């Protein structure tokens, strides 16, 4: 990883006792790029925006494809986790630390099998969401509870705090770390939710590091949904031509 000049790169005081030299990441663990059908943000602009905000770790989790995330990994001068929001028969599951695209339309169990086959992690994006049709059904979350590695306890596009509280309670009950991400579909949303966490080498360290992370941020304006609807319409129109 190239050195970052960001103020988040090194912690001058031991935030975690005995770890004065801990490299601290400021991570937005849920970002979309123009590779998502409902997003038109180019990769380069995302990199620039992250650098402006001192974000030095992101998970690119496009809908149905990892190509943008793989490209971002080559392009960005900071840590990029290759992820994907996979639409299963019961709603979305996020695979993280992936190598290739996982097809949609499979059952949650089969999807998890495919994530594991790539050595990836299973994350539940926007859990217990009542407004979003694509959210994984509550009963399906319970069904796969033992297979979940991490769960979003803050998603800036999820309007209800009660859902976040449910997610936190679920994470606690099952002893899994809570994750946070802006779910940015536009540039201005990037960084609206972040985790400050120690640097990690691999997915196992990532989980440990996340468990010690500090989540910050909040909700995005409800108007951001207008932009992603517009991006979806635009991309459908362009595809038809």
Residues at the interface with Zn ion (CB under 5 A) = 183
The residue whose Cβ lies closest to Zn ion is: 183
Our CB check for Zn ion shows the closer of 56 and 84 to be 84
Nearer to Zn ion, 6 or 220 (CB): 220
Whole-angstrom Cα distance, residue 188 to residue 127? 23
CA angle 57, 212, 53 (to 5 degrees): 30
Kindly state the smallest distance separating residue 186's Cβ from Zn ion, in Å. 12
**Alpha-carbon gap, residue 196 to 47, rounded angstroms:** 18
Least distance to Zn ion, CB of residue 183, Å: 4
Least distance (Å) from Zn ion to the CB of residue 27?
A: 15
Nearer to Zn ion, 129 or 183 (CB): 183
Residue pointed to by tokens 């005995």: 18
Which is nearer to Zn ion, 6 or 149 (by Cβ)? 149
Cβ partners under 8 Å of residue 86, min gap 6: 64, 92, 93, 94, 95, 102, 103, 104, 106, 111, 115
Burial of 12 (0-12, 13-18, 19+ CB in 10 A): exposed
Shortest distance (Å) from residue 63 CB to Zn ion: 7
Q: Which residues pair with 205 in a beta bridge?
A: none
Q: Which helix H or strand E contains 113, and what residues bound it? A: helix 108-117
Nearer to Zn ion, 129 or 149 (CB): 129
- Least distance from Zn ion to the Cβ atom of residue 177, Å: 19
């Amino acid at each position: 990883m190239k050195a970052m000049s960001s103020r988040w790169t090194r912690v001058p005081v031991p935030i975690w006792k005995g770890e004065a030299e801990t490299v601290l990441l400021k991570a937005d663990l849920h970002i979309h790029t123009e590779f998502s059908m409902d997003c038109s943000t180019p990769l380069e602009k995302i990199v620039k925006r992250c650098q402006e905000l001192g974000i030095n770790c992101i998970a690119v989790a496009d809908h149905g494809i990892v190509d943008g995330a793989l490209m971002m990994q080559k392009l960005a001068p900071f840590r990029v986790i290759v992820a994907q929001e996979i639409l299963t028969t019961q709603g979305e599951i996020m695979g993280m630390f992936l190598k290739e695209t996982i097809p949609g339309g499979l059952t949650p169990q089969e999807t998890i099998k495919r994530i594991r086959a790539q050595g990836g992690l299973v994350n539940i994006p926007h859990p217990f969401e009542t407004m979003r049709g694509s959210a994984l059904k509550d009963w399906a979350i319970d069904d796969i509870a033992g297979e979940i590695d991490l769960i979003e306890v803050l998603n800036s596009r999820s309007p209800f705090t009660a859902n976040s509280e449910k997610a936190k309670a679920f994470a606690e009950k099952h002893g899994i770390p809570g994750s946070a991400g802006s779910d940015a579909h536009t540039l201005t949303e990037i960084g609206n939710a972040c985790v400050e966490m120690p640097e990690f080498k691999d997915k196992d360290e990532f989980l440990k590091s996340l468990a010690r992370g500090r989540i910050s941020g909040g909700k995005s304006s409800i108007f951001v949904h207008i932009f992603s609807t517009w991006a979806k319409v635009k991309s459908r129109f362009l595809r038809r031509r």
